[in-house]
């Protein structure tokens, strides 16, 4: 009797309080949003295949990149690993029966869906053209379209994030199995704990800031409007106070995933466990203090810029510790290149490129040249797509036997992983070069000399699209026809592998007791 066979009606799913079922609900919802955002991205790349703005109008193009950004950031990336895999795995990994607040957990999903409906309604009603950043005064005075509707959607989905964060923190504090001390926690749990802290402390600032934007748009009162004594920079400070930590909401869980997959397929305990845990907390903390590096050219004080620049460089230290430690974990390991491992190694490499180019952008003088160019686009896509999406897919494959109780076809999965890696680099590496040459972001046409690189990038996007459709097909296939999975197909440590695949409703037949450190591969 597994959690999947506890009931087969739609009602039994929509009223469930089982964290595993809620995770599956999230997985379905964010997959739908991923393909909405992906469709917008496909149209953007099609438009940019030629220098002339011939496929869509400038207004439509603006709406496309806005909807791509809004959907991918708030409706896919932020809930991706935390809400799907975090929800599924956090209670199992700490030996608990469920999250601390199961009803709140289900409520978070409904809040997410409600926010998503508002955003989709705005899309159907004609879209928005402010960009995902909602910069004032564009968003408060000049933008046409359904700014308020999207803001309401993002505001609502923010509460889903906050409640999920709250749930994870309380769960990790209160529900650990006997013997599971803080420094016996898997790094996946550490990463989700730090992520939850950021969700809890950063998201409310976004909610209130966007509320102010909406109120200013409706009532015309000058919080951000300089004509009335307001200040547009105030918006940027408040927005990035959320949105920079939000990057760490997206990438910390990905780091947690890599820290599970790499030791398993290198058959070695993770190198420098405590340093890894401290590095996660370090990134989460410093991440709150670097928002000003998005505003170097906005006219903020030069001295503030220098401080923000230095703090941004500091984030590189814990990030580098993690990359070195993953590499050291591989050293002298007996490495198996399974599909999850390919994704995890892809994550480490792409995250490193994305992180190092981030240092370019954190340098004041260089940023003046590179700001608002395709270099920035390439940089954050290396972190968000190369980092987070690769890790998300790796995690889906790694824990797929646990979630579905079936094995996926390994060879097909390896081909998909390599396709995605190749397609990703072909899409985004040319954009570094374009940015370096000075092509600005957010225009639907460009001078003809940029066409070769743009065409390469668009071709890469097509490869990437195929790469993303493959897992959808074979994972769907494996639910019905895949081989039944044993409890521990990878020979991994960790409590989640000690229960059946898929787990029973309350996760364990007997409550587990922990006596050893994690990653006990020897």
**Phi and psi of 406, rounded to 5°?**
-125, 155
CB of 413 to another protein, least distance (A): 38
Of the residues 207, 264, 277, 464, which one makes contact with another protein according to CB under 8 A: 207
CA distances (Å), 440 to each of 41, 87, 450, 463, in order? Answer: 17, 39, 11, 24
Please report whether residue 107 would count as binding another protein according to CB under 8 A.
no
Residues 112-151, interacting with another protein (CB under 8 A): none
Of the residues 175, 200, 335, 479, which one makes contact with another protein according to CB under 8 A: 200
Looking at the Cβ atoms of 208 and 320, the one nearer to another protein is 208
Q: Which residues, in sequence order, are CB contacts of 289 under 8 Å at separation 6+? A: 308, 311
Q: Which stretch binds another protein (CB under 8 A): 38-46, 64-72, 231-239, 483-491?
A: 231-239
Looking at the Cβ atoms of 70 and 162, the one nearer to another protein is 162
Q: Which stretch binds another protein (CB under 8 A): 40-48, 116-124, 196-204, 416-424?
A: 196-204
Please report whether residue 169 would count as binding another protein according to CB under 8 A.
yes
Question: 422, 463 in Cβ contact below 8 A?
Answer: yes
Q: Which stretch binds another protein (CB under 8 A): 29-37, 110-118, 212-220, 377-385?
A: 212-220
Instruction: List the Cα angle 267/268/271 in 5-degree steps.
Output: 150
Helix residue spans in 331-389 (DSSP H): 339-362, 364-370, 374-381
The span from the CA of 48 to the CA of 453, in Å, is 10
Please report whether residue 201 would count as binding another protein according to CB under 8 A.
yes
* SS3 labels along 216-271: HHHHCCCCCCHHHCCCHHHHHHHHHHHHHHHHHHHHHHHHHHHHHHHHHHHCCCCC
Question: 270, 254 in Cβ contact below 8 A?
Answer: no
Looking at the Cβ atoms of 187 and 196, the one nearer to another protein is 196
Determine if residue 492 is left, alpha or beta; phi over 0 gives left, psi from -120 to 50 gives alpha, anything else beta: beta
Question: 198, 164 in Cβ contact below 8 A?
Answer: no
Please report whether residue 180 would count as binding another protein according to CB under 8 A.
no
Helix residue spans in 52-101 (DSSP H): 58-70, 78-79, 87-93
Residue 340, helix vs strand vs coil: helix
DSSP conformation class of 439: P
Please report whether residue 104 would count as binding another protein according to CB under 8 A.
no
Please report whether residue 7 would count as binding another protein according to CB under 8 A.
no
CB of 16 to another protein, least distance (A): 24
Looking at the Cβ atoms of 235 and 421, the one nearer to another protein is 235
Please report whether residue 221 would count as binding another protein according to CB under 8 A.
yes
Please report whether residue 194 would count as binding another protein according to CB under 8 A.
no
Please report whether residue 295 would count as binding another protein according to CB under 8 A.
no
Which residues partner with 128 through β-bridges?
Answer: 145
Number of shown-chain residues binding another protein (CB under 8 A): 27
Q: Which stretch binds another protein (CB under 8 A): 141-149, 159-167, 336-344, 432-440?
A: 159-167
Question: 23, 506 in Cβ contact below 8 A?
Answer: no
Of the residues 40, 191, 202, 257, which one makes contact with another protein according to CB under 8 A: 202
Of the residues 7, 69, 102, 222, which one makes contact with another protein according to CB under 8 A: 222
CB of 77 to another protein, least distance (A): 21
Of the residues 212, 257, 264, 384, which one makes contact with another protein according to CB under 8 A: 212
Looking at the Cβ atoms of 230 and 340, the one nearer to another protein is 230
Positions that interact with another protein (CB under 8 A): 162, 165-166, 169-170, 200-205, 207-209, 212, 215, 219, 221-223, 228-231, 234, 237-238
């Amino acid at each position: 009797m597994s959690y999947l066979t506890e009931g087969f009606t739609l009602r039994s799913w929509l009223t469930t309080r089982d964290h595993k079922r809620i995770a599956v609900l999230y997985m379905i919802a964010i997959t739908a949003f991923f393909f909405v955002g992906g469709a917008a991205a496909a149209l953007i790349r099609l438009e940019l295949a030629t220098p002339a703005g011939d496929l869509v109008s400038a207004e439509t193009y603006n709406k496309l990149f806005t909807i791509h950004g809004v959907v991918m950031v708030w409706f896919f990336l932020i809930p991706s690993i935390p809400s799907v895999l975090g929800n599924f795995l956090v209670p199992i990994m700490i030996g608990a029966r469920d999250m601390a607040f199961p009803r709140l957990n289900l409520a978070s999903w409904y809040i997410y869906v409600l926010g998503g409906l508002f955003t989709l309604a705005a899309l159907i009603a004609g879209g928005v053209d402010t960009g995902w950043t909602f910069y004032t005064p564009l968003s408060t005075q000049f933008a046409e379209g359904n700014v308020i509707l999207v803001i309401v959607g993002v505001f609502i989905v923010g509460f889903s994030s906050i409640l999920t964060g709250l749930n994870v923190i309380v769960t990790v504090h209160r529900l650990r199995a006997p013997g599971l001390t803080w420094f016996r926690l898997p790094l996946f749990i550490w990463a989700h704990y730090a992520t939850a802290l950021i969700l809890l402390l950063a998201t409310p600032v976004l909610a209130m800031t966007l509320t102010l934007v909406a109120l200013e748009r409706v009532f015309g009162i000058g919080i951000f409007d300089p004509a009335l004594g307001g200040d547009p920079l105030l918006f940027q400070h408040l927005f990035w106070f959320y949105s920079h930590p939000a990057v760490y909401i997206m990438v910390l869980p990905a780091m947690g995933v890599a820290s599970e997959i790499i030791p398993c397929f290198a058959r070695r305990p993770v190198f420098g466990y405590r340093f890894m845990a401290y590095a996660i907390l370090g990134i989460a903390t410093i991440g709150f203090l670097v928002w000003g590096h998005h505003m170097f050219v906005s006219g903020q004080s030069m001295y503030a810029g220098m401080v923000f620049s230095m703090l941004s460089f500091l984030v590189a230290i814990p990030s580098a510790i993690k990359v070195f430690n993953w590499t050291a974990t591989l050293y002298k390991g007996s490495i198996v290149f399974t599909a999850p491992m390919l994704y995890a190694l892809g994550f480490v490499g792409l995250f490193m490129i994305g992180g190092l180019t981030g240092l370019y952008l954190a340098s004041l003088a260089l940023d003046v040249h590179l700001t608002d160019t395709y270099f920035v686009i390439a940089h954050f896509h290396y972190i968000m797509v190369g980092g987070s999406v690769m890790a998300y897919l790796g995690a889906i494959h790694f824990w797929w036997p646990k979630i579905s109780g079936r094995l996926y076809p390994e060879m097909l999965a390896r081909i998909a992983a390599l396709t995605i890696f190749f397609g990703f680099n072909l899409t985004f590496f040319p954009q570094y070069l374009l940015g370096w040459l000075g092509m600005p972001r957010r225009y639907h046409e460009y001078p003809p000399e940029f066409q070769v690189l743009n065409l390469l990038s668009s071709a890469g996007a097509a490869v990437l699209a195929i790469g993303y459709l493959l897992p959808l097909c074979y994972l769907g296939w494996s639910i019905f026809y895949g081989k039944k999975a044993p409890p521990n197909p990878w020979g991994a440590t960790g409590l989640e592998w000690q229960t059946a695949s898929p787990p029973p409703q309350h996760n364990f037949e007997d409550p587990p007791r922990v006596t050893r450190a994690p990653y006990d591969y020897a």
